[in-house]
Structure formats: C-alpha cells, structure tokens
Amino acid sequence: AKQRGKAGHVRYEPGMAEPVLAHFQLGAELRRALDAGEFRVFYQPVVGLADRRLIGVEALVRWQHPTRGMVAPAEFIPAAERTGLIVELGRTVLRETCRQMAAWIAEFGPDAPVKVGPNVSGRQLHDPGFVADVRAALADHGLSSDRLVLEVTESSALRGRQVIAALHELDAMGVTLALDDFGTGESSLSLLRAFPASIVKLDKSFVDGIEIDDGDPAAGDARQAVARAVVQLARALRLDAVAEGIENEAQARALRELGYSLGQGFHLAPPMPAEKMTRLLAAARSA
Ligand code: C2E
Ligand code: CA
Ligand code: CA
Ligand code: CA
C-alpha cells in the first residue's frame, strides 16, 4: 500500500529490481518524465509568526508519476544530481516558478506578497549557464529580480571561487539568496562571510522538540540554544531568519519567544498546488 504523507506525496518504490538496475531505471525514467512534463511545482507559504500574514512562498518540486502518484523530491533529487539531470530539472522548476509568479502578479497586482523561492542544488550553481538561465527566466516573464529568492543549501558544494562569483552576480542583480537548512553544515559561520545571503532558514532539526523545556540540555534546550544563536546572528548581520518545519502551536510560540518573526511548516500551511495557492492569495487580498 502506498504511504501518503502530510505533504501529499507517496514514497517512490523501485519495485523488485536490483539496486543498480533501479538506479539506471530511475535515471531513464527521469529523462522520460522531463520530456513528458511530469514535474509539478508545489508552493508552501512563509508567514509572519505574529499575524500569520503571507510573506512569501517556497517552491518545491514533485513528480506526478503516471502510475505511482505524487512522488516526493527525496525519492528522485539524489538520482537527478548523480545523473546531472538536476540542471535541466532545476531550469524547468525555475521557469515554471517565474511563469506562475507573473500570472499571480497579473491577477493580484504588484503589491501582492508574490516572492517565490525555488531550491537550487549545488550542481546547478556549478553550471556555467546558471546565472544566464536566471536572467532569462526573469526577463521572459517581465519579472523584477527582487521577486526571486534562491534557496541554497549550506552543504551543497558552496565552495569554489566560481560558485561564490555566481552568487555575488545574482546578488548584484537583485535576486535574494537564502541559506537553507542553516545550522546543519560544517561551517555555517565562515560560509556566511563569503555568501551574500539575506535570509537564513533555521533547519527543522532544531525546531523538532524545541517546545519541550524539561531542563535536559541534550534535548529541547540545546535546540533552543541553537535557534537563539541563529536568530541573534541573523539580527547582527541584518538577515531575515525563517524557522522551518513548524508542526504545532507550541513550536510557533517557542520560536516567537526566541525572536523569530517568520516561519514555515505544516502547522502554518503545507505545500500546495498552484491553484490552492492562488485561492490563498485571493483570501490575503480581501483580508
Ligand atoms: P527543503 O528545501 O528543506 O524543503 C522543506 C521540506 O520540508 C519540504 O519537503 C516540505 O514539504 C517539508 N516541510 C515543510 N513543512 C514541514 C513540516 O512542518 N514538517 C515536516 N516534517 N516537513 C515539512 P519536500 O517538498 O519533500 O522537499 C524535500 C527536499 O527536497 C527539500 O528540502 C529540498 O532540499 C529538496 N527539493 C525540493 N524541491 C527541489 C527542487 O526543485 N530542486 C532541488 N534541487 N531540490 C529540491
Ligand atoms: Ca528549501
Ligand atoms: Ca530547508
Ligand atoms: Ca530539554
């Protein structure tokens, strides 16, 4: 039986095949899926923790598989990275995100909270055509560059002069850069010096259990210490801090008390298809 998660996707099961064979099959299937246009972009709101106001949106890819249903990125992004197909997949997501943003701005006006952040893999950043792809995607839809947030994971091969140069070029263009999964990498602090980020996203692993205050420094209290350090660092560096993976009200409250004003998570709003996001934007307009 399929396991349907909260985010509305099922686990990809390669069936009876040998692992190596499954790997090749997955690569071939990804190629086919790209050509068939089976990838969908879901959108998850980023909201103000005090007033629940919509601030922006994260773009998350899903694979609408003809027989397996909605497949989560964890089941195919690693294979896409290994095969290099992530560059084309990432470009597809970027273009679709920009197309959707332009449609929302046309419908809800320039003041609507339409600021969307797709995730970018390290492999994409190493692609010499990446900055040009971003520029073209924005220009093709008449979008101002400050509409686009690129979420880059700390660990995702952010080293190298070429990657850092690309990030600075994007920053100079006016694109917002967010450092994703913050706190999980090896050298978050030194990275922040070289990386022109304006947003840090506190990793969900520090949010899980943050509401549990039992005096045990090994559990909730340690996470609180990290969460507090990250928000203080963000404030000192004039970055926005977003807490990820908030699953209940107690976590939202704990994070607010620690100084977070922005959050994301199933408790606030799950990732959703574009049509549902459109209804949310319509509700935000009339609110
Ligand atoms: P991420 O960038 O850290 O994205 C957040 C993940 O947490 C998403 O999983 C989202 O659905 C999930 N999430 C949000 N709120 C909650 C919550 O309250 N509880 C829990 N348990 N989970 C929550 P998703 O969509 O399955 O994506 C997983 C990862 O796959 C992403 O992690 C990102 O690293 C990667 N990914 C997703 N889309 C893309 C893409 O277009 N390109 C690339 N390169 N990577 C992507
Ligand atoms: Ca992300
Ligand atoms: Ca994250
Ligand atoms: Ca504790």
Tell me the average pLDDT of the chain. Answer: 89
**Residue of the CA atom closest to atom 27 of ligand 1:** 73
Atom of ligand 1 nearest to the CA of 201: 3
Model pLDDT, residue 8: 56
CA angle 137/272/244 to nearest 5° reads 90
By most ligand atoms within 8 Å of CB, the mutation choice from 10, 43, 49, 60 for ligand 1 is: 60
Q: How far is the CA of 244 from the centre of ligand 4 (A)?
A: 19
The residue assigned the tokens 């005090």 is: 50
Which residue from 281, 209, 218, 280 is spatially nearest to 245, judged by alpha carbons? 209
Q: How far is the CA of 97 from the centre of ligand 2 (A)?
A: 14
Ligand 1 pocket (Cβ < 6 Å) reads 7, 44, 60-61, 72-74, 77, 86, 90, 93, 118-119, 121, 151, 180-181, 245-247, 264-266, 271
pLDDT, one tens digit per residue, over 145-165 is: 999 999 998 765 677 888 999
Q: How far is the CA of 47 from the centre of ligand 2 (A)?
A: 15
Q: Are 76 and 31 in contact (CB under 8 A)?
A: no
pLDDT above 70 covers a percentage of the chain that reads 87
Model pLDDT, residue 215: 64
Q: How far is the CA of 184 from the centre of ligand 3 (A)?
A: 10
Structure tokens at 27: 């690569």
Q: Which ligand is nearest to the CA of 209?
A: 4
Helix spans in the chain (H)? 19-36, 77-83, 86-108, 122-125, 130-140, 161-173, 188-194, 204-207, 220-236, 249-258, 274-286
Atom of ligand 1 nearest to the CA of 86: 44
pLDDT, one tens digit per residue, over 16-44 is: 445 555 666 888 999 999 999 999 999 99
ipTM over 0.90: yes
Q: Which ligand is nearest to the CA of 8?
A: 1
Provide the whole-model pTM: 0.92
Structure tokens at 232: 């203080």
**Residue of the CA atom closest to atom 33 of ligand 1:** 119
What is the rounded CA–CA span in Å between residue 83 and residue 72? 18
**Residue of the CA atom closest to atom 12 of ligand 1:** 245
Structure tokens at 259: 């100084």
By most ligand atoms within 8 Å of CB, the mutation choice from 9, 38, 57, 77 for ligand 1 is: 77
Residues contacting residue 252 through CB under 8 Å, at least 6 positions apart: 49, 246, 263, 265, 267, 268
Residues contacting residue 3 through CB under 8 Å, at least 6 positions apart: 10, 11
Q: How far is the CA of 26 from the centre of ligand 3 (A)?
A: 24
Question: In terms of DSSP bridges, do strands 54-65 and 116-120 run parallel, antiparallel, or are they unpaired?
Answer: parallel
Taking the CA atoms of 85, 119, 64 and 248 in sequence, report the sign of the dihedral they define. Answer: positive
Low-confidence spans in the chain with pLDDT less than 70: 1-24, 155-157, 186-187, 214-220
Model pLDDT, residue 270: 98
By most ligand atoms within 8 Å of CB, the mutation choice from 58, 119, 155 for ligand 1 is: 119
